[in-house]
Homo-oligomer: A and B are copies of this chain.
Amino acid sequence: MTAPQTLDRTLLALADPTRRAILQRLSSGEARVTEVAQPFSMSLNAISKHILVLERAKLVKRRKVGREHFLSYRSEPLDTAAKWMDDTRAFWGSRLDALERLLREEDENTK
């Protein structure tokens, strides 16, 4: 049983292009904060905050070695969110389809 806010945090974290770009970078392997921040035109501090949001959503794990913080991508929240989306989509979709079929049948009957 996943906490109710877990999905909220995951989706919120993903709803930002900078954070998605950070994750993409990390998907090819660990990197330090400075390395992650390097390609962006915003301040290191701004990136540090984005990383916090990703950590809160458990999409990023931090491993400290001396003064360096190594960040890595965790796939689990995205797996969970994808599952939620597929399940939900199937459920909502099928209900709508059923309704549409019903309406079309009624329409047939009134011809």
Residue numbers of A with Cβ under 8 A of B are: 4, 7-12, 14-17, 23-24, 27-29, 73, 75, 78-79, 81-82, 85-86, 88-89, 91-93, 95-96, 99
Q: Which 4 A-B pairs have the closest CB atoms?
A: A11-B15, A27-B92, A12-B15, A82-B85
| Contacting pair A17 B11 (CB below 8 A) | no
| Copies of this chain per assembly | 2
| Contacting pair A81 B85 (CB below 8 A) | yes
- Pick from B10, B16, B78: contact of A88, CB below 8 A: B78
Known contacts A8-B17, A12-B15, A28-B95; 19 further A-B pairs (Cβ under 8 A): A4-B17, A7-B15, A9-B15, A11-B11, A15-B15, A24-B92, A27-B91, A27-B92, A27-B95, A27-B96, A73-B92, A73-B96, A75-B89, A75-B92, A78-B92, A79-B89, A82-B85, A82-B86, A82-B89
